[in-house]
Every structure is written in C-alpha cells, then in structure tokens.
Amino acid sequence: MRIGVKQTEYHVGDIVCLFFLCLQEERLKGGRMHRYDVIIIGAGVIGCAVARELSRYQMKIAVLDKCNDICEGTSKANSGIVHSGFDAKAGSLKAKLNVEGNQMMEQLSKELDFPFRRNGSLAICFHEDERSQLLELLQNGEMNGVQGLRMIEREEIKKMEPHISEEVVAALYAPTGGIVCPFNLTIALAENACSNGVEFKLETEVLTIVKTTNELEKDSYHIETNKGCFASQIVINAAGVYADAIHNMVSQNKINITARKGEYCLLDKMVGNYVDKTIFQLPSKLGKGVLVTPTVHGNLLIGPTAADVEDKEQNNTTGSALAEVIEKAERSVMKLPIRQIITSFSGLRAHLDRNDFIIEEVEDARGFIDLVGIESPGLSCAPAIGKLAAKIVIGIFPAAAKRDFISKRKGIPSMATLSKEEQAEMIKLNPAYANVICRCETVTEGEIMEAIHRPLGATTLDGVKRRTRAGMGRCQAGFCSPKTMEILARELHVKLIDITKCGGKSKLILGKNKEV
C-alpha cells in the first residue's frame, strides 16, 4: 500500500510538474504540446530512412533535429561507400543489415532519384603472409551472404586498376560494392518522407525526455525542446554521436558513445577516374582503414583516419591526420595526384564499445527505440535499418498502410549530367536553367531556386551546396558564393547580410562598408 501511495504521489507529481512545465512553455513560447504518434530524434541518414519507411503507415510522425538542416552530423562527412558486407563480423547486425542495405540501394536510388553506382571494391594486401587475412575476409563475406566475392591476383588487379600500387600481391574483389552521395541519399529520404506527411522540426534540440504513466496519455513520452514540448507514444533515437545522451534520459542502463573522428581529402574531378573501384587496405581494429575511391559525382576521395575525440563537435581537420591520409593512400595507389586536392573534411562516427549496432526497443523504456552505434557501414545499412525500425514500431503501434503513399521522389535536375537535348528541354521550361552560377560544377540558377523551394528546401549556402553541388568544385565557392547568396536572399525574401553558411552564428557578411 505504501508503495502504491508513493507511486501515486510520483504520478501526481509528474502530472503537476509536466502541467506546469507545459504551461510555462505556453507562456514563454506561445506554444502548446505538439502530439505525434512517433517522434524520431535525429535527421541524419538513419532518422530519415526510418521516417521514410514509417511514412508508409497511417501515423503522425515528426523528426526533430537540433541543426539548421537535415544531414548535418555523421551523415554529411563519411566515405559515401555502399559496402558489399564482407567485413562486418558474421552474425552481427552490421553484417546482416549491410548485405540487406546494399541489395536495397539500387532500387531505392531509382525510386528516390539519387545517383548510385555499383563500382565494386578491392581489399588489397601487400605481402604474401597477408593472404590468409584476405581469405578470412572472403569466408566471412560468404557467411554474410555477399554475392560474387573472389580472390584475384596481381595481374588481374593491375588490369582493373592501372594505378594500383606496385607492391600489391592479391585482393578480395567484391563486385557488389558501390558508391553513393550521402547528402543526396539523406535528402532524398527526407524529402520523400516529407511528401508523405512527416513533419521535420529543425533547430529543435531535445533538452529532456520524461515518460508519463498517467491514464490519459498512456505511456507517452514528453520531449522538452528549445522549441516547445512534444509528446509521442513512440520515440526513435537516431541521434548519432548524441544517441547515448538521448538514451540515458530514459534508461537506467546507461550507454556511452565515443565520437571517432575520420579525416578525408577530396580531389578534383580531373583525377576522378584515377581508380575505378573502391580500394581498401586490410582492415584494422579501428576500422576499415584509409580507402581510395571515386565518388559517385566523379571526384576522388581518400581517407579516413580514426581517432577518438572527447568533444562531439570536434569535427576539425588536423595537419597530422591529413598527412596520414595522404601517406596511407599513397600506399594503395602509385603517384597519387595530391596536387589535385580541392578540400579536406572530417566526420565523427558514433562508436559503441560492443562494436555492433543496437537496434531495439529499450528494455526499461517501452516504446523507446534505440538506433544506436550506427558507425560504418551505417550508410550502407540505412535502408535496411529503416525497414527494421519500422517493423519494431509497427509491432508496438499497429497502424494500417497508407493507400496514397508516394513511393517516388524526383531529384533536382542536374544540368551537368543531362544530355544536350535534356538541357535544352529544361531551359525551355525555365530559362533560369541556362544561367550558370557555379562554373566548376555547372550548377544553374534554376537548380538553386529548385533547391530552395522544394520541401525541406535549402536556407543556407551549405544547404544549397549539398542539394545542388554549387560550391563543391575546384574553386570551392570562390566565384559562386556571392551569387548563390544573392539568390537565397531574393528567393527567401531576406537581406543578403542575413544569409549564413550553415545557420546559427555562421554569418557570411558582417556589415556594410565603413560600418563595421
């Protein structure tokens, strides 16, 4: 009885507290409790993949993200590889979802109109005594169900990749390996989810999550954010490197995610075909090591390094890591054209000590679903994780499928990749498609306007860049940034001076002449 009383006290206390909290919210922000069936925390590739899968069902869904745009965390800075799946340990979630995700990617790329190329991959070794490790990878891959794996010898490797290192001895060839643009993939998923009714709440940072147990709300979660209070029966934790903090708000079984930094260099399209396949070296304990790969847009990418960092916003590059990237990449290929480097960047992987993903309903938090520790091959797994998470949700919250689900999405037309006839057709529809803004990547005013005005449109220079590639070329936005800013200001009806690089305090202009 006493316990019961105590529980009731907590119960009442919770309600009072929440009532007060929400009342206060209402007063402060003029808001109210925003109620959803499912709330997804994190608008990276995983959050967006889940959102898209769940948008097939009749449920009210919101995606919350603290950033100014989708795809702002781990999803924006990685290798862009769709791994074949030979590497992840047989029997792990990583292995299962990787192979599944890889198989889904092609169909998805057609449905959602983003570029994907199955270029194949090679894991190479430099010594005879490393052959056994390649064989282990082969066996592991076969156990994982990876199709078409085979060992190849030096001669065949040289034929496939004329620039491969002279030291190469043998390789594991995985024809199902592929490349994708992580921005295109994430944005495509998000836009399609959005078209199917999912609401995206950006610049919305989760501060606390409280579970209510009152009769009225039936086990729902109250999520307090800087933009008001949200309530939902199902919460999906897709918060990347912050997924531990989100998890720990509701569970007694605390987890810890380490941000593992990876640095990269990107090379000019002039040398984009320096290799055709994704070239891996033998994996180490810290990951798959430094790769050399073409990107789906035709650049050459080298990286990443792996170093654990304390600060989860510490996505800076360092001289020593960039030197390491170059040194290791130079081992894989001959005469790496490093003079063609056009930029470098770094990303943070969400690493869990157990070395596998957690994709499950949290034991002591019913309705709270963790998608946690999604490091490599997370991008490859994203479509499969989306599907699996949706299955878990439907198990808890049965919902009927929508009849009017829109499975297809059309990407922003890319003048650079269209045929002359198609280009002429676009220009006929809208002459702005003949006004080239970014000369390096041949991105037109029409494409930038489209990027701004479509669902979840770009509001910043980086937003335009990730959707259209304006500013991603060899001059790194030297010529086009003033013009892109002008278009953003014009189309969004804001002052040029208020345009930012990536939201927040990232102002590009600090005043008028003589005024600063």
Which residues bind to other proteins, rule: CB under 8 A? 265-266, 270, 313, 315-319, 321-322, 341-345, 420, 423-424, 427-428, 431-432, 434-436, 439-440, 442, 474-479, 481-482, 496-497, 500-502, 504-516
In the bound state with other proteins, the residue whose beta carbon lies nearer, of 282 and 434, is 434
Neighbouring C-beta atoms of residue 243, cutoff 10 Å: 24
Helices 481-492 and 461-468 sit at what angle, rounded to 10 degrees?
100
Record the tokens describing residue 107, joined without a space. Answer: 């169909």
For residue 213, the minimal CB distance to other proteins (Å) is: 40
Record the tokens describing residue 493, joined without a space. Answer: 């009806």
Looking at residue 48, its amino acid is: C
In the bound state with other proteins, the residue whose beta carbon lies nearer, of 399 and 508, is 508
Write the DSSP symbol of residue 272.
Answer: T
For residue 256, the minimal CB distance to other proteins (Å) is: 23
Dist CA 181 CA 177 (whole Å):
14
For residue 87, the minimal CB distance to other proteins (Å) is: 28
For residue 497, the minimal CB distance to other proteins (Å) is: 7
Record the tokens describing residue 445, joined without a space. Answer: 């005013």
Dist CA 145 CA 149 (whole Å):
10
What strand order describes the sheet that includes 116-117? 81-82, 178-180, 116-117
What is 82-105 written as a DSSP string? E--SSSSPTTSHHHHHHHHHHHHH
In the bound state with other proteins, the residue whose beta carbon lies nearer, of 455 and 504, is 504
Dist CA 237 CA 350 (whole Å):
13
Dist CA 504 CA 41 (whole Å):
20
Dist CA 203 CA 482 (whole Å):
25
For residue 277, the minimal CB distance to other proteins (Å) is: 24
Dist CA 40 CA 53 (whole Å):
12
181, 195, 380, 455 from 452: Cα distances, Å = 19, 16, 28, 8
In the bound state with other proteins, the residue whose beta carbon lies nearer, of 220 and 299, is 299
For residue 414, the minimal CB distance to other proteins (Å) is: 13
For residue 406, the minimal CB distance to other proteins (Å) is: 32
Cis peptide before 413 (omega within 30 of 0): no
In the bound state with other proteins, the residue whose beta carbon lies nearer, of 161 and 445, is 445
In the bound state with other proteins, the residue whose beta carbon lies nearer, of 143 and 429, is 429
Dist CA 347 CA 319 (whole Å):
15
**DSSP strand E in 95-240: where?**
116-117, 121-125, 150-153, 170-174, 178-180, 199-201, 206-211, 221-225, 228-237
In the bound state with other proteins, the residue whose beta carbon lies nearer, of 60 and 439, is 439
Based on C-alpha coordinates, what's the Rg of the chain? 24
Dist CA 67 CA 459 (whole Å):
12
Residues annotated catalytic, as ranges: 83
